[in-house]
């Protein structure tokens, strides 16, 4: 049973990772290049159009083969997205296997609720404290950002667990689902204090806002594809198990 869950997570993560890798190649990487240029990282190259063109088509010698830097960057982003997706997929499958009995709703609803909790824990809460910064934009020191990210990640996980426990508790003692769901949002709403207590980060520039929007869109898309794929694979697995059980001959007590 556990191996089946992990396999579903592996497949769902591969699908989501490839989609995320394409997003990075087609959207995120060009924006980062613009941010770096704006930050002056390529100031020397910007003045020389011919040299920039040569750099874009430069090749890396790998023995008998020669690979353009652009192709290598694309391959690296795709493999990185695939790896990140597979890692999230396996982690999601393990979490779903352990927490499935405690997550309210039917099978598909449980998957999407856990996916939303994963997005909030891994990205949402930490980014409320330390939003993503484009290259060249000043922010808090790296070690400070790391500490705040880790603390906010733990806070997000605790808030999600507390929210689920509150919902189950109120539903068990007879309160309606709407009341239980409303009260269960209180721990999640408490996370809105993170931007107030977290380290200040530069904002207001259109480039900063665009960068954060693209990063957020990438993570939302990654988790959406991951949960949708996992829900599909999980549903097919449950249906297959039900068919096998139905086709199995009944064994008499005396056999």
User: pLDDT digits over 138-155, tens only?
Assistant: 666 778 888 999 999 999
Q: What is the spatial distance between Cα 152 and Cα 212, in angstroms, rounded to a whole number? A: 18
The answer to whether the beta carbons of residues 204 and 138 sit under 8 Å apart is no
The residue among 155, 71, 164 whose CA lies nearest residue 121 is 155
Q: What is the spatial distance between Cα 104 and Cα 244, in angstroms, rounded to a whole number? A: 27
Beta bridge partners of 68: 59
Q: List the beta strands (DSSP E) in 41-173.
A: 59-62, 65-68
Q: What is the spatial distance between Cα 63 and Cα 192, in angstroms, rounded to a whole number? A: 54
Can you give the residue ranges of every domain in the chain? 2-35+71-239
The residue among 84, 71, 85, 57 whose CA lies nearest residue 29 is 71
Query: What is residue 204's predicted lDDT score, i.e. its pLDDT?
Result: 58
* Mean pLDDT computed over every residue of the chain: 81
pLDDT in tens, 17-42: 999 999 999 988 887 777 677 666 44
76 class by beta-carbon count within 10 Å (0-12 exposed, 13-18 middle, 19+ buried): middle
What sections of 120-205 are H helices per DSSP?
125-129, 142-172, 177-189, 194-197
- Is the pLDDT assigned to residue 71 strictly greater than 80? no
Report CA torsion sign: 175, 179, 181, 182.
negative
The model carries a pTM of: 0.79
Query: What is residue 50's predicted lDDT score, i.e. its pLDDT?
Result: 44
Beta bridge partners of 65: 62
What is the separation of C-alpha 165 from the centre of its chain, rounded to a whole number of angstroms? Answer: 23
The answer to whether the beta carbons of residues 192 and 127 sit under 8 Å apart is no
- Is the pLDDT assigned to residue 45 strictly greater than 60? no
- 185's tokens: 């949002």
pLDDT in tens, 157-207: 999 999 989 998 888 887 778 888 899 999 999 999 998 888 866 555 777
State the distance between the two ends of the chain, measured CA to CA, in whole angstroms: 26
The answer to whether the beta carbons of residues 125 and 187 sit under 8 Å apart is no
């Amino acid at each position: 049973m556990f191996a089946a869950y992990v396999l579903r997570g592996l497949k769902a993560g591969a699908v989501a990772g490839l989609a995320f890798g394409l997003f990075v190649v087609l959207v995120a990487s060009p924006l980062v290049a613009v941010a770096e240029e704006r930050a002056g990282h390529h100031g020397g190259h910007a003045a020389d159009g011919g040299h920039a063109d040569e750099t874009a088509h430069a090749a890396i010698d790998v023995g008998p083969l020669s690979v353009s830097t652009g192709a290598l960057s694309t391959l690296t982003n795709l493999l990185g997205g695939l790896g990140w997706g597979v890692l999230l997929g396996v982690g999601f499958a393990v979490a779903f296997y352990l927490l499935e009995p405690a997550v309210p709703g039917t099978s598909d609803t449980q998957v999407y609720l856990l996916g939303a909790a994963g997005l909030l824990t891994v990205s949402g809460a930490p980014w409320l404290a330390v939003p993503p910064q484009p290259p060249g934009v000043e922010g808090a020191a790296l070690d400070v950002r790391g500490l705040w990210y880790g603390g906010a990640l733990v806070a997000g996980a605790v808030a999600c667990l507390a929210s689920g426990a509150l919902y189950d508790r109120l539903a068990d003692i007879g309160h309606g689902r709407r009341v239980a769901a409303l009260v269960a949002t209180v721990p999640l709403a408490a996370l809105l204090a993170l931007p107030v207590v977290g380290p200040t980060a530069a904002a207001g520039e259109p480039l900063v806002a665009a960068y954060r929007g693209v990063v957020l869109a990438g993570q939302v898309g990654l988790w959406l594809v991951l949960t949708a794929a996992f829900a599909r694979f999980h549903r097919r697995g449950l249906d297959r198990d039900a068919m096998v059980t139905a086709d199995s001959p009944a064994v008499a007590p005396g056999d």
